[in-house]
Structures are given as C-alpha cells and as structure tokens.
Amino acid sequence: NDLTGITATNIGTLTLDLQDAASTAAGTTGAINVGTANGVVVTGASDLNVNGAVTAATFNASAATGAITISALNATTAFTTGSGDDSLTSAGDTNFNVNGGAGNDTLVLAAQDYSNNTLTIANMEVLNINASGVTLAGSQIHGQSYVISADNAGDTLAINATVGTGETIDVSGTA
C-alpha cells in the first residue's frame, strides 16, 4: 500500500486506480512528481495520503470516492478531489487552485498572509486555521459558506477588504 514517492516525468498522465478492497488502510505515498506539464488522475474507492508535494499541471481525483489527503499544495498544480471527505494543506506562502468536489472537505491553511496571493477555492466546506495568524482577502472566499475550524482560543483569521472597490464581506454563512 505504501510508496516512498512517485517520479515519472516522461509521461502525459499518471493514473492511480485505488481499488484495494482487502485493506481498510489508506494508500500512502511521498511526493508525486510528473512534471509541471503533465497530469495525475486518481480513481477508485480507497483512501490516498500524499505526504509531500504534487508536481503536476493537474491533480484530478474527481472520480475518486475515497478520502484524499495532500500535505503540501503548490502554485503549479490545479487540485480537484472527489466525493470523499478530503483534506488539502497549504505549504505556506503560495498561490493555489483547489476544488474539493463533493464530500465534507477541509482546507488547512498555514500561518500566512494570503491576501496578495492568487487563490481559487471551490467546494471546500471547512477552513482550518489551527496554525493561527491566517489572513485572506474577502474576494478569495466570496460566494461560499465555510465552517472555520481552530484548535484553541488564540487562533486568528483576518479577512481583508480591498479599499475603494465596494467589496462586501459577508460572514453570516460561517460557523
């Protein structure tokens, strides 16, 4: 079930079909590197933990029904997950593009000011700010309701509105 990592930069698309019905443990791999022009496709019902960065143009697990966990988002990969309860973790001061698909999905944010970064966040139901000191621009989280998750009373989330744009921040749909 476990790999130390996957490197295959001379292919167009790496497909991982997660069908280990005999095991209830998640498949685990280290970093996945297929090059920034290539893609990773994940299908199947088993869970997958990626303990490291994914270097690819796309990481498409929209057909996966197991939980997908990625420990280091980056600026070069567009991430899409499927119907499992997925968890994607920011690697820090980086741009990223994430779409959690169906399921109850969590975006774990590093203690970072992301307000000047390019973030695309879709279908992520939980924003985890356990690292405390997270700053987002209102435009980055506009149009979706979130549960804000933190682990102690000292955790903070700041949301900045852009001056002179008429931007409105509505946090009535958060919990």
For every residue of 99-161, DSSP letters joined together read: E--SS--EEEPPSSB-TTS-EEEES--EEE-TTS-EEEEGGGSTT---EEE-SSTT--EEEEP
Cα(172)–Cα(53) distance, integer angstroms: 34
Residue 108: what pLDDT?
94
174: how many CB neighbours lie within 10 A of its CB?
14
Q: What is the mean pLDDT of residues 18-30?
A: 79
Residue 170 scores a pLDDT above 80 = no
> What pLDDT shows up at residue 100?
95
Rounded to an integer, the average pLDDT of 154-175 is: 71
pLDDT band at 15 (very low <50, low <70, confident <90, very high): very high
Question: Any idea which of 18-22, 45-49, 108-112 has the lowest mean pLDDT?
Answer: 18-22
